[in-house]
């Protein structure tokens, strides 16, 4: 079946550096993509989203880039802080029929920020 | 807004017993709720989708008789793990969405189930 995957399972950066987390997806029908942050023992926390009619969206310290040609999604975190240490998941939604949208999660990238 | 809670946050039970996990949307009415399972160092895997007042739709490989889902109201869905075994030990996470924003899901904090 179609899936969402990640290039790098772990990423270690120095505090203050910029972080880039990548994600590849295979469902060409995907039209909505989300990045989540998950800290240990907690549920996913929404970071930023982007729809397929856009190629870039910025939030506070975060930017999501979407390249539909190569089915690639990235999350950029500026001036990474120790509090950014967590597992980051990309997810894509597809309509499973009717009004239900199913989320498919990527494998996740563990981001470690060194002080 | 859009807060989802789960209860309990963690539970330990003996093998063979049943455990019920509640998922509540606190400040909105959820037309659809989703249940996920997450094993250590793995991603979230969708188990089932439930719409209020109708039977849940289970993903392939998920036993509907083992994982009973009830979505009796627009603010509450329950997942009951029946005859739990150690391999059912996992992190169970629910999410909820509303019809007007059907592709956005709001996640609960998760429930850690440990079966001895």
Comparing CB atoms, the residue among A42, A105, A106 nearest residue B110 is A42
Distance CA A97, CA A57 (A): 28
Strand partners, B64: none
pLDDT at residue A9, as a whole number? 86
The pLDDT profile of chain A, 115 residues, written as one tens digit per residue, is 344 554 448 999 999 999 999 999 988 888 899 999 999 999 999 999 999 999 999 999 999 999 999 999 999 999 999 999 999 999 998 765 555 678 999 999 999 999 9
pLDDT at residue A1, as a whole number? 37
Distance CA B11, CA B81 (A): 12
What number of C-beta contacts closer than 8 Å exist between A and B?
56
CA dihedral B62, A8, B93, A40 (to 10 degrees): 140
Nearest residue in B to A106, CA atom: B43
For residues B36 and A43, the answer to whether their CB atoms sit within 8 Å is no
pLDDT at residue B26, as a whole number? 94
Cis-peptide, bond into residue A58, ω within 30° of zero: no
Residue spans of chain B under pLDDT 70: 1, 100, 102
Task: Please report, in angstroms and rounded to a whole number, the separation of the first and last CA atoms in chain B.
Answer: 37
Comparing CB atoms, the residue among A96, A102, A107 nearest residue B43 is A107
Distance CA B40, CA B99 (A): 32
């Amino acid at each position: 079946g179609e899936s969402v995957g990640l290039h790098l399972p772990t990423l270690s950066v120095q505090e203050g550096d910029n972080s880039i987390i990548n994600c590849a997806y295979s469902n060409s029908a995907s039209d909505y993509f989300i990045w989540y942050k998950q800290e240990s023992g907690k549920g996913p926390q929404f970071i930023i989203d982007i729809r397929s009619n856009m190629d870039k969206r910025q939030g506070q310290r975060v930017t999501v880039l979407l390249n539909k040609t190569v089915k690639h999604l990235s999350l950029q975190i500026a001036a990474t802080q120790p509090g950014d240490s967590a597992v980051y998941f990309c997810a894509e939604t597809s309509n499973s029929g009717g009004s239900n949208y199913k989320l498919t999660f990527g494998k996740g990238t563990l981001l470690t920020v060194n002080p | 807004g859009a807060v989802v809670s789960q209860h309990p946050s963690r539970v330990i039970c003996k093998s063979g017993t049943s455990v019920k996990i509640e998922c509540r949307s606190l400040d909105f009415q959820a037309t659809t709720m989703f249940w996920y399972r997450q094993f250590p160092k793995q991603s979230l895997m969708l188990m089932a989708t439930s719409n209020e007042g109708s039977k849940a739709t289970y993903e392939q490989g998920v036993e509907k008789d083992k994982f009973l889902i009830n979505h009796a109201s627009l603010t509450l869905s329950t997942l009951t793990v029946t005859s739990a075994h150690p391999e059912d030990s996992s992190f169970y996470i629910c999410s909820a969405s509303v019809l007007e924003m059907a592709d956005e899901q709001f996640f609960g904090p998760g429930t850690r189930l440990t079966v001895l």
